Amino acid sequence: MIDTIILILLGLIILVILWKLVKNVMNLVINSIMGLIILIAVNFLHLFGLLGKTDIPINIISVIVCALAGIPGAILLILLHLVGLY
């Protein structure tokens, strides 16, 4: 009887932990996708053309930065491109 109660409690604890992980992973995925969308939108609208600069190159490095850092990564790439470092 006590074994069953312990197993049910362990199952509930594992379920709560998995729910928290999935919830955090979904936030990370949404943040990464939003960062990529911002980068693509800036290039699609040719916002840097108004400043006399070329568009941000979308290559493996910029995709990795946006995938890992999300929206702050896209802002960082935009700022670095404005300064001329990327």
| pLDDT, tens digit (0-9, with 9 covering 90-100), for 32-53 | 999 999 999 999 998 888 888 8
What CA–CA distance (Å, rounded) separates 77 from 84? 10
Q: Is residue 55 predicted with pLDDT exceeding 80?
A: yes
Q: What angle do CA 65, 46, 69 make, to 5 degrees?
A: 15
Question: What per-residue confidence (pLDDT) applies to 42?
Answer: 92
Question: What per-residue confidence (pLDDT) applies to 74?
Answer: 93
Confidence at 15, pLDDT banded by 50, 70, 90: confident
Question: What per-residue confidence (pLDDT) applies to 41?
Answer: 94
pTM over 0.85: no
